[in-house]
Amino acid sequence: MSTARDNILKRLRNANAMPVQSTEIAFEPWGFDKSKTEQEKMARFCQALTASHAQVIQLESSEIGATLETISLEKGWHRAAIGTEGEWINDFRQGLRALDIIEYQNDIENWKSALFHEVDVGVTHVLAGIADTGALVLWPSVQEPRTLSLVPPCHIAVMRASTLHNHFLEVMAEQNWAANMPTNALLISGPSKTADIQQTLAYGAHGPSELIVLIVKDK
């Protein structure tokens, strides 16, 4: 096995092995404090995501395809769903080429059964990250609809490190949402979970039971 693949597998297994402390961590809200360094923001973001049972891997943009390929082999996936556009769409196609890829370009009624019953993973881009709460901001579109992140058992979300902000208001202000308000925005902080039944926490009841976040370092 190549050194590059060894390194990817090591990062993936380290992400899986990180202790879950979702019932122990008490985060103090940051409010509107902008004095945090980039390192502090990233540390808070990764800690909050991990505490919510997400797996986090930091990587170079050149490693996206190889990382997707390695994760797919490790998980034994057979079918993936992706959009049709986006900064790293070609990396998605390359990394998932060994799988049966469904690109979201047809009416949902034509492949709804496959999406709900056969697709193992949905891969999407991320508009921004929120350090304060460890949340991902997705801006669904015709090219990359929200079902890709809400339906398959696993969601892989790929975000650029420079899109990490302190809080949600900062995301809206710095990305000028007032002039270009989305018709739909998703905030995702971990895998789907519920405690409705006997107040026992269960994952995957209403969506993905697994969330893997790939954070692409800026050059």
pLDDT digits (tens, 9 = 90+) for 68-120: 999 999 999 999 999 999 999 999 999 999 999 999 876 777 778 888 889 99
The DSSP 8-state label assigned to residue 209 in this structure reads: S
Go through the domains of the chain in sequence order and give each one's CATH number: 3-16+37-192+204-216 (3.40.50.10420)
- Asked if the model's pLDDT at residue 182 lies above 90, the reply is no
- The span from the CA of 180 to the CA of 165, in Å, is 18
pLDDT of residue 13: 63
Q: Dump strand ranges (E) for the chain.
A: 55-59, 79-82, 100-103, 121-125, 128-130, 135-138, 154-160, 164-165, 186-188, 193-194, 202-203, 210-216
